[in-house]
A and B are shown apart, each in its own frame.
Chain A
Amino acid sequence: MDFLENKFFLLAITFGFFFLSKVFQKKTGWVLLNPILVAIALLICFLKFTGVSYEKYSEAGSLVEFWLKPAVVALGVPLYLQLRMIKKQLMPIIVSQLAGCIVGLVAVTVIAKLMGASPQVIMSLAPKSVTTPIAMEVSNAVGGIPSLTAAVVIVVGLFGAICGFKVLQVGHVGSPIAQGLSMGTASHAVGTSRAMEVSGKYGAYASLGLTLNGILTALLTPTILHLLGLY
């Protein structure tokens, strides 16, 4: 059926599946049912089932993807609103963000390399801790596979949201600010939404971690990969 390849039809089900996934998560309250993950899974099943090719789908999908870049630019607004909070404790925040960013980058790339991952996969994993639009841009810039990065980013987010506070407890990170920052730094928007559930203060610091690590990762990834001899 050719109609299944209609651009507006494909756009409509993209919106529709995402909306349904969101409603479903709200109803069940399950962190694991991340609407992004569920919508992607539904769309892949739909395409496999109907035999519509990815190339056809991406003609419609690219219209949505187009908004990723302006959406990242729009993150400048929350960043501006948090500037005062950053200034108050500039040093602890900057230093801990730098440490987290570098440790994450080095750990993920070195472990992947030691375990024999291919260069393309290593590049795709490098920006895994930051929010997807930024991670995909970085992945693209260093020669990774952006959609693989997107999938890994979601897994990292879910892992952080589900186990993050447990890990912090075991690791003796007790202060609310440090916990919030860590959640945002390690597991971006999904971790931030988990922190937001605990309290607004946790959430504010988590979104600060999310934004700053996003910037640092974008700025440092090419250089660090270069120093490691990977890029």
Chain B
Amino acid sequence: MIRQCSILFGCLALGELIVYLTGIHLPSSIIGMLLLTLFLKLGWIKLEWVQGLSDFLVANLGFFFVPSGVALMLYFDIITAEFWPIVIATLVSTVLVLVVTGWVHQLVRKYGFFRK
């Protein structure tokens, strides 16, 4: 477990370092995730060194943002004031994402992006 924590927090710390050094506008956790994938692919880290803890974290992802959701109680006035823009923009763009992703995938698969 200690090794698993060292690896996960090590990747996160590297991500933080990259953000600190480059000032890039990316969450350090995303950089850490890509680094972890890269290290696994390169074989520097073995899957069984991280699997237990990462399975636990991924399976319970939902729980970790419950407290942040509670902060919503501070923003009730913004939500009531801008209710319709929030709802319409969200629903319309979700429908567009669903259909566009599907269409493009089917088209590219059918006709190819680069002809062989």
B11, closest chain A residue (CB): A73
Chain B hits for A131, CB < 8 A = 61
Distance of A56 Cα from B41 Cα, bound (Å): 43
Q: Taking the complex as formed, is B86 at the interface, i.e. its CB lies under 8 A from any CB of chain A?
A: yes
The interface bits of chain B over 54-93 (1 if a CB of A lies within 8 angstroms of the residue's CB, else 0) are 1101101111111111111111001100101110111111
Task: Give CA–CA (A214, B112) in the complex, Å.
Answer: 25
A137 to B8, CA, bound (A): 17
Q: B57 touches which one: A67, A109, A140, A159 (CB < 8 A)?
A: A67
A80 touches B72 (CB 8 A): no
Q: Which of these, B57, B68, B90, contacts A108 with CB under 8 Å?
A: B90
- Does A74 reach chain B (CB closer than 8 Å)? yes
Q: Contact string, A105-126, partner B, CB cutoff 8 A, digits 1/0?
A: 0011101100111101100010
Among B60, B88, B96, B97, residue most surrounded by chain A Cβ atoms (within 10 Å): B97
Does A164 contact B98, Cβ atoms closer than 8 Å? yes
**10 nearest A-B pairs in the assembled complex, by CB-CB distance:** A61-B67, A173-B102, A76-B36, A137-B27, A100-B101, A147-B71, A107-B93, A96-B105, A74-B54, A72-B29
Q: Which of B1-38 contact A (CB under 8 A)?
A: 8-9, 11-12, 15, 25-30, 32-37
A96–B69 CB distance below 8 A: no
Q: Are A93 and B78 in contact (CB under 8 A)?
A: no
Which A residues are in CB contact (< 8 Å) with B40? 76-77, 80
Minimum distance in angstroms from A163 CB to a CB of chain B: 8
Q: Give the A-B contact count at a CB cut-off of 8 A.
A: 326
Residues from chain A with Cβ under 8 Å of B112 in the complex:
91
Report the bound CA distance from A71 to B63 in whole Å: 11
22 A-B pairs, CB-CB below 8 angstroms? A36-B63, A39-B69, A40-B66, A48-B73, A57-B70, A68-B65, A70-B57, A71-B64, A76-B32, A76-B36, A77-B50, A77-B54, A91-B112, A96-B102, A121-B82, A132-B61, A147-B71, A147-B75, A159-B90, A164-B98, A182-B101, A222-B25
- Are the CB atoms of A62 and B67 closer together than 8 Å? yes
Cα–Cα distance between A36 and B28 once the two chains are bound (Å): 24
Known: A132-B65, A150-B65. A75 touches B102 (CB 8 A): no
A100 B41 Cβ-Cβ under 8 A: no
A71, B69: Cβ atoms closer than 8 Å: no
Is there a chain B Cβ closer than 8 Å to A148's Cβ? yes
A71 pairs with B58, CB closer than 8 A: yes
Residues of chain A within 8 A (CB-CB) of B104 are 92, 95-96, 99-100
A8-34 to B contact mask, C-beta < 8 Å, 1/0: 000000110110000000000000000
User: In the assembly, what is the distance between CA of A112 and CA of B88, in Å?
Assistant: 8
Contacts of B106 in A (CB 8 A): 173-175, 178
**CB of A129 to closest CB in B, whole Å:** 6
A182 / chain B contacts, CB cutoff of 8 Å: 97-99, 101-102, 105
